[in-house]
Amino acid sequence: MNVCILGDGLTSLSLAKALVNLEINVDVISHKKIDKLDNTRTLGLSRSNIEFFNKNIVNIDKLLWKIKKIAIFNDNSKNNELINFDNSKEYLFATIKNKEFYNLLYLSLIKSKIFNFKKKLILSKYNLIINCDPKNLITKKFFFKNIRKNYDSFAYTTIIEHKKLINNNTAMQIFTKRGPLAFLPLSDTKTSIVYSYKGKKISNIFELVNFYNKKYSIKKFNEYKTFELRSSNLRNYYHQNILAFGDLLHRIHPLAGQGFNMSVRDIKELVKIIRFKINHGLSLDSSVCIDFEKNTKHKNYIFSNSIDFLYEFFNFERKIKSNILSKTIKLLGAQKSTNKIFTELADNGIVF
């Protein structure tokens, strides 16, 4: 059986490695040069997704920095946490640098005899085609209908280098007047910054980070990158034996760090469907696409909208200039049962 994956990002290579491990011939249509990947981008991976990755794709433990606590603040709460999630016995999630992650997947794939990077797509050659590329002709022809939202915001990403901080394992999210600002530890001396700033592009991003930074003694800001923030949900997941995948299916606001986690959960479901087909001697064809859409579309839509609701919740508080909503969140977060539900939702996504 032959599968082709269009696009060469992290989701594409992760899926490719999962399928190669099932002894499926995989070609990836690739145009990217690995040395041009962004050094400022990082990901947060949930514990359940890490376990899946290690077991079914490739072991990534050596690249991870484990986070045991998440502390949530806003402008009104200042130094007092609105809510926190804590798992000091194990960890809640882990951070990983995109480029190191990509390198590991790339090197593990090129060792395989049943994997190839290709430049040209021949549709008739493949049983199943998985499209992770939002800019190709197939996307423009078959996967252009989606539900979109423009946040009128830009995400700024960088990595700060700071004095060594023992037990730098608490992630912080601050809902500022201009949007959510995240501090995501990468080591004892490095921390990733993601600031989703509402409004036009600005040049004083480092000054704003310093204003809200109450924890780190910063030695250096690395170069920052910026990109426009939009969300989208694709209306139709497939066309014949071509399945849309990754960010093409769903793009969400980065405030909860769940974008790639959603894609990993999609990989889980797709691998489950394909493994079932193989074990029962069935072909990989359009039925894979049909089953995947049936099993995931509603969950992805609900989860995407829950992230958007969280963003709008704090955005509404900013607009009305009141802290009554924050007080409500603080009361809910103090309840162990509610805290547990939020933690499990972030770890596993929508499960029913």
**pLDDT at residue number 349:** 79
Distance set, CA 297 to CA 104, 257, 305 (Å):
30, 20, 12
**pLDDT at residue number 156:** 95
Distance set, CA 180 to CA 64, 153, 172, 303 (Å):
24, 11, 10, 19
Beta bridge partners of 68: none
Q: Side-chain half-sphere of 128: how many Cα atoms within 13 Å?
A: 26
What letter would DSSP give residue 99? Answer: H
Quick one: tokens of 58?
């490739």
Residue-range domain boundaries for the chain: 2-348
How would DSSP label each residue in 291-326? HHHHHHHHHHHHHHHHHHHHHHHHHHHHHHT--HHH
Class level of CATH domain 2-348: alpha beta
Question: Over the chain (352 residues), what is each successive 10-residue block's mean pLDDT?
Answer: 94 98 95 65 95 98 96 76 81 95 95 94 94 94 95 95 94 90 96 94 92 94 94 96 97 91 97 97 96 97 92 73 60 63 75 62
